């Protein structure tokens, strides 16, 4: 039994990017969470937050390292020294055979800023490998790329969430915050109470769509056509802001010419959205004095995800609804530290502070902080999916370290990935639990959970937050930073690393100074005193930047850029043999791959198993009944799931949540086709068929 010791100060939820403030308390002898009043969650928590303490004292928590004596042998307990020595020996052996790039590192968007920073540095300085990327590539990469290109900076919401209620109209595209960021709903409800219009575009009538003034139930994969149709109507009906376009943007002409060809009849044919609704939505957005356009994984997790995001940025820019209070385009970040986790170097092409690994000046600046020769830093490496594809191949990654990610649930085409991981010389997984990925590993290292160490995270609005260590990890468990430090020491690079999170943050401040995500002026004391600090914050005198685009965009000339994008079909359209669209997403009760939430009794009671949503008329025609089992097949595999019949979904679409592994795993089915710019896989639309699979 783990005996808790409660420290002082508060923490923030381990799950979604709202990062609600909470305390850890003892209730009836057990650890529990309690809501804390804070400017973001304003005292609110969702059911995941209320039960977030349960995994801390889970009976299936790992309390000792595990390793196999040979491939195929069972995992057995090991001492830390034995396990770490084995990891270091395996990394050395891989490097001797294949060079530094034979070792790969895969991180996660739930890692704290300090750990994400350290992981990137460990790959480049500790291992010298170019092979590092993380699961945010599966999540935020398209929105990030489009934001960088169009606005000069990737900050999920470039405004505080307290701006939401003041928006006269909000368009949410392919996101269901009522289930994925539940506490943000209070801001949407406030916006509605103030008379604001809420428009939701989604193939499903989700909980968020049910709150909306107008629901645009588009065909999966047609997001760009919808955005182009809205822009077409805005142009036709004189709703665009020509003064704003003239003063603050470039490239409008080419974008306008494309939108001119997306007349409403054409857009209705492509998207399935009735003309009247298209016109109504354009007028709601264009006639409101303030408005926001928010995209989520729906348009972004596609093989044209970056173009889709650009299409909606174009719309917001044309309406003049960017760069002023209660306005803006934003991308709704999902993972707990999805924002901070993508800023400080665990991406394949990135150095801390959003610096580029391909830029000699950026390399020199960061190398100086790290005390290394910039020429020793490896070049940018392959993206997450490409890194995983190279695993186990003779000239690819032979040894892989995974930290903060459950790949065999979260990555596309999981059975193919399993084969790749099994072909590695060694797979090392750091996790508090024996996740699906850890269960296949050669060495498993048990690491601390969120409230067992101090550190910072950055929420979806760019506010840097501090989590206090409120309960020490149980005996036998170490922090991820201790693991990396111990490995660096065994590899002869220990002098470059500290495992102290506060020292890591101070180093991160220096390494990010002068970058776009500049944390130089942010201290743990300021975060505490000011209830979070918004980056960029270049000095301790600087107040932080809640709205970075009020005066200028972060582009070289200060102007936002239109990108001339067309609608393009998804990589795989329904057709003979696979007549339906399959789309994937989340449910209220679970977070990401479910490694933590599937171990919480109350959450499992509400959402105990994977399922497929199907329209009842389609289900009846196929002989599928409510609660019966159904088999979904795509060109990559099949999954067997319980059917839920609902009129909330389109006739041509199936929906499967991705929180589970096993034979109900959504990612047995998904398409690894990549966006050419962001390299995000196409989780949100592929071709599928469904048939009854008995009643078990």
Selected range binding ligand SF4 among 41-49, 388-396, 561-569, 629-637, rule: CB under 6 A: 41-49
User: CB of 667 within 8 A of CB of 413?
Assistant: yes
Q: Which strand (E) or helix (H) includes residue 284?
A: helix 275-287
Closest listed residue to residue 12, CA positions, set 463, 504, 498: 463
User: CB of 401 within 8 A of CB of 103?
Assistant: yes
| Per-residue mark of binding to ligand SF4, 49-88 (x: CB under 6 A) | x---------------------------------------
Q: Which is nearer to ligand SF4, 32 or 552 (CB)?
A: 32
Q: CA distances (Å), 332 to each of 14, 87, 461, 533, in order? A: 17, 37, 9, 19
The DSSP output letter for 616 is H
Residue with the CB atom nearest ligand SF4 in the bound state: 49
Structure tokens at 77: 């307990």
Q: Smallest distance from the beta carbon of 338 to ligand SF4, in angstroms?
A: 11
| Per-residue mark of binding to ligand SF4, 13-32 (x: CB under 6 A) | x-xx-xxx------------
Pick from 83, 139, 171, 181: which binds ligand SF4 (CB under 6 A)? Answer: 181
Q: Smallest distance from the beta carbon of 42 to ligand SF4, in angstroms?
A: 11
245 binds ligand SF4 (CB under 6 A): no
Q: CA distances (Å), 527 to each of 10, 35, 540, in order? A: 12, 19, 11
Residue ranges in 387-426 that form contacts with ligand SF4 under rule CB under 6 A: none
Pick from 145, 150, 157, 183: which binds ligand SF4 (CB under 6 A)? Answer: 183
- Rounded CA-CA distance 617/619 in Å is 5
Selected range binding ligand SF4 among 68-76, 181-189, 510-518, 602-610, rule: CB under 6 A: 181-189
Q: Smallest distance from the beta carbon of 302 to ligand SF4, in angstroms?
A: 25
Exposure of 7 by Cβ count < 10 A (0-12 exposed, 13-18 middle, 19+ buried)?
A: middle
Selected range binding ligand SF4 among 38-46, 358-366, 373-381, 475-483, rule: CB under 6 A: 38-46
Q: Which is nearer to ligand SF4, 335 or 383 (CB)?
A: 335
Pick from 152, 168, 182, 229: which binds ligand SF4 (CB under 6 A)? Answer: 182
Q: Which is nearer to ligand SF4, 51 or 413 (CB)?
A: 51
Q: Which is nearer to ligand SF4, 20 or 481 (CB)?
A: 20
Within 10 A of 250 (CB to CB), how many other CB atoms are there?
A: 12
Q: Smallest distance from the beta carbon of 15 to ligand SF4, in angstroms?
A: 4
Q: Which is nearer to ligand SF4, 591 or 660 (CB)?
A: 591
Instruction: Concatenate the DSSP letters of all residues of 517-574 into one string.
Output: S--TT--HHHHHHHT-EESP--STTS---S-TTSS--SSTTS-EE---------SS--
Q: CA 226, 229, 235, 239 torsion: positive or negative? A: negative
Q: Smallest distance from the beta carbon of 48 to ligand SF4, in angstroms?
A: 4
Q: Smallest distance from the beta carbon of 586 to ligand SF4, in angstroms?
A: 11
Any idea which residue has 């003979």 for tokens? 576
Distance of CA 224 to the CA centre of its chain: 21
Structure tokens at 411: 């990555």
Q: Which is nearer to ligand SF4, 36 or 568 (CB)?
A: 36
| Binding region for ligand SF4 (CB under 6 A) | 13, 15-16, 18-20, 41, 45-46, 48-49, 181-183
């Amino acid at each position: 039994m783990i005996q808790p010791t409660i420290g002082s100060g508060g923490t923030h939820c381990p799950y979604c990017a709202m990062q609600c403030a909470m305390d850890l308390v003892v209730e009836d002898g057990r650890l529990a969470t309690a809501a804390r009043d804070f400017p973001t969650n304003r005292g609110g928590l969702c059911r995941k937050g209320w039960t977030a303490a349960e995994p801390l004292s889970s009976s299936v928590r790992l309390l000792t390292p595990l390793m196999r004596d040979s491939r195929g042998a069972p995992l057995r307990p090991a001492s830390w020294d034995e396990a770490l020595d084995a990891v270091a020996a395996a990394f050395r052996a891989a490097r001797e055979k294949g060079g530094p790039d034979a070792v790969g590192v895969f991180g996660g968007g739930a890692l704290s800023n300090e750990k994400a920073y350290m992981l990137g540095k460990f790959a480049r300085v500790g291992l010298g490998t170019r092979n590092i990327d993380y699961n945010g590539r599966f999540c935020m990469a398209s929105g990030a790329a489009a934001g960088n290109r169009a606005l000069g900076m990737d900050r999920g919401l470039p405004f505080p969430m307290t701006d939401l209620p003041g928006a006269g109209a909000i368009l949410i595209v392919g996101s269901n915050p009522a289930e994925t960021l539940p506490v943000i709903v209070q801001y949407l409800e406030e916006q509605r109470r103030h008379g604001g219009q809420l428009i939701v575009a989604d193939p499903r009538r989700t909980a968020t769509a049910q709150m909306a003034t107008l629901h645009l139930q588009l065909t999966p994969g047609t997001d760009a056509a919808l955005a182009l149709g809205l822009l077409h109507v805005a142009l036709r009906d004189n709703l665009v802001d020509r003064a704003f376009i003239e003063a603050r943007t470039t490239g409008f002409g080419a974008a306008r010419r494309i939108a001119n060809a997306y007349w409403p009849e054409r857009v209705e044919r492509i998207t399935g959205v009735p003309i009247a609704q298209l016109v109504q939505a354009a007028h709601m957005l264009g006639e409101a004095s303030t408005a926001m356009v928010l995209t989520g994984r729906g348009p972004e997790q596609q093989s044209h995800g970056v173009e889709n995001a650009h299409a909606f940025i174009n719309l917001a820019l044309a309406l003049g609804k960017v760069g002023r209070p209660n306005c803006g385009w934003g991308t709704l970040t999902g993972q707990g530290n999805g924002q901070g986790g993508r800023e400080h170097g665990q991406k394949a092409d990135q150095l801390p502070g959003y610096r580029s690994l391909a830029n000699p000046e950026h390399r020199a600046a960061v190398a100086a902080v790290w005390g290394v020769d910039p020429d020793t830093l490896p070049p940018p490496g392959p993206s997450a999916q490409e890194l995983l594809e190279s695993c186990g191949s003779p000239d690819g990654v032979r040894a892989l370290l995974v930290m903060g990610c459950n790949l065999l649930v979260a990555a596309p085409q999981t059975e193919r990935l399993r084969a790749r991981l099994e072909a590695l010389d060694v797979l090392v997984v750091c996790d508090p639990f024996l996740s699906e990925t850890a269960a296949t590993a050669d060495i498993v290292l048990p690491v601390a959970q969120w409230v067992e160490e101090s550190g910072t995270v950055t929420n979806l609005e760019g506010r840097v937050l501090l989590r206090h260590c409120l309960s020490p990890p149980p005996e036998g468990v170490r922090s991820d930073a201790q693991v990396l430090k111990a490995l660096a020491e065994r590899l002869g690079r220990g002098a470059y690393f500290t495992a102290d999170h506060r020292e890591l943050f101070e180093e991160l401040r220096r390494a990010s100074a002068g970058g776009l995500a500049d944390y130089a002026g942010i201290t743990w004391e300021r975060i505490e005193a000011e209830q979070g600090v918004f980056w960029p914050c270049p000095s301790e005198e600087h107040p932080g930047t809640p709205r970075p685009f009020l005066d200028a965009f972060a582009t070289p000339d200060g102007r936002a850029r239109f990108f001339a994008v067309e609608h393009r079909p998804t990589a795989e359209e329904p057709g003979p043999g696979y007549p339906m669209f399959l789309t994937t997403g989340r449910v209220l009760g679970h977070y990401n791959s479910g490694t933590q939430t599937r171990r919480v009794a109350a959450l499992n009671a509400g959402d105990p198993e994977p399922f497929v949503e199907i329209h009842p008329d389609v289900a009846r025609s196929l002989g599928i009944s409510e609660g019966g089992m159904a088999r979904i097949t795509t060109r990559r595999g099949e999954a067997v799931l319980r059917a839920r019949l609902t009129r909330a979904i389109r006739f041509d679409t199936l929906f499967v949540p991705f929180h589970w592994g096993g034979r109900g795993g959504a990612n047995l089915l998904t398409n690894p086709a990549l966006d050419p710019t962001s390299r995000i896989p196409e989780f949100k639309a592929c071709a599928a068929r469904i048939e009854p699979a008995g009643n078990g």
